[in-house]
Chains A and B, each alone.
Chain A
Amino acid sequence: MPMSDEELVRQLESVPLVDPGDFRDAVMARIGVEDRRSRLSGQAGLPVLQFKPRLFLGLAWAAAIVLVIGVAFFKTPPPQNAAATMAAPEISVSRSGDRWIVQPAVEGRLEWDETKLTKVESLPDGSTVLRRVEGATGTAEIRLRAPGREVASTTISLE
């Protein structure tokens, strides 16, 4: 049987976005190195891209690993019932026990780790109430997405 256009669109739009991990540090490391090179050679303006990608990628990975270990070592657990906090300019998260009230400040769609958080209700002011899934521990990510871009994301502690 021929496939309908609607069926094709349904299939296309059911494909989930893949999480690439954070490569900001890798790119910023390259940029930083190029910035310093430019200054040393007396060039003005933005840096010119002439580098060995694998070498700098390796350096960036090393920097990222050191950062992750450092954060894991020195991190202290957050309070159980935090007051309203500004997780990012575009998203506000407030905690009450095992529930979180998430309020986007810009238009977009909220996404969260469904293995750790479940939606309780939507409030009239546009915020969403999420509850910790029983037995879930560690952290969970909440993202605000708009077509074509990641507006904001924040990680909450479930402890």
Chain B
Amino acid sequence: MSYSNFSSSELYLMKEEDLDRIAVERCLEGDSDAFGELITRYQRPVFNTVLHMVGNTEDAREVCQQAFMKAFEHLDTYDRDRKFFSWIYRVAVNESINWIKARRPHEELDESLEHPRANPAREFEELEEWRHLHEAILELEPNYRAVVILRHFVHFSYDEIAAILKLPEKTVKSRLFTARQQLREALEAKGHAHE
């Protein structure tokens, strides 16, 4: 087969931060559609962050939409010298924490957290593992929960998490340490420690 119809010269490189900055500027100049580009770029990882914060899909979808609406509403307060993703994640985490504080306790495992795999035995094992993990995460205090989610589910670095949560980096590390300890204890209590 031939790959001759592919030409790398047709590609152009642009940093995501630049794409974000341009979209924000267009939006502030009155082009609301530019905000749609930002939603498309961030909706999936931001949704997953919110989902693990609030614990179920329906609420996560509502909280996530509210977070994007709030970001749009307050876009003029966003400091353009900072990265947009830090800001949108902060809005989403804060919105999630406000929602958690305002609601009644709700710790059902959402079906959408299940993820089918080809091997049925492995699939079952992973579902069990994820179920107990999800339950343990929901037992964490929200500020600790946020650090675990940002670090391990969306893979931010310590300094990025510090920027998102407006915390010193050492506080992020300390919270992550404590959160992992609590998770381990919760999982051991559920009998799901692995050799």
On A, residues with C-beta under 8 Å from B are 1-3, 5, 7-9, 11-20, 22-24, 26-28, 30-32, 35, 45-49, 53, 57, 83-84, 86, 89-90, 92, 94, 96-97, 99, 101, 103, 105-106, 123, 125, 127, 129, 145-151
CB contact under 8 A between A15 and B153, given known A53-B62, A106-B13: yes
B76 on the A face (CB < 8 A): yes
Find chain B residues with CB under 8 A from A101 CB: 3, 6
Task: Give the top 10 A-B pairs by smallest Cβ distance, nearest first.
Answer: A3-B193, A20-B47, A12-B152, A147-B155, A94-B6, A16-B115, A24-B39, A148-B154, A105-B11, A150-B44
Any chain A CB within 8 A of the CB of B194?
yes
Number of A-B contacts (CB under 8 A): 182
Q: Mark B14-30, 1 if CB is under 8 A from A, else 0.
A: 11100100000000100
B contact residues around A47 at 8 Å (CB): 72-73
Chain B residues contacting A105 (CB-CB under 8 Å) are: 11-14
**From residue 158 to 195 of chain B, which have CB atoms closer than 8 A to chain A?**
160, 180, 183-184, 187-188, 192-195
Docked CA distance A150–B184 (Å): 30
In the complex, what residue of chain A is closest to B130 when comparing beta carbons?
Answer: A15
* From B41, B133, B184, contact of A15 by CB (8 A): B133
Which residues of B have CB within 8 Å of A8? 180, 183-184, 187
Contact assessment for B152 and A13 in the assembled complex, using a CB-CB cutoff below 8 Å = yes
Bound form: Cα–Cα A2–B183 in Å: 12
| Bound: A14/B113 CA distance, A | 12
Interchain CB contact under 8 A, B60 and A20 = yes
CB distance from A1 to the nearest CB of B (A): 6
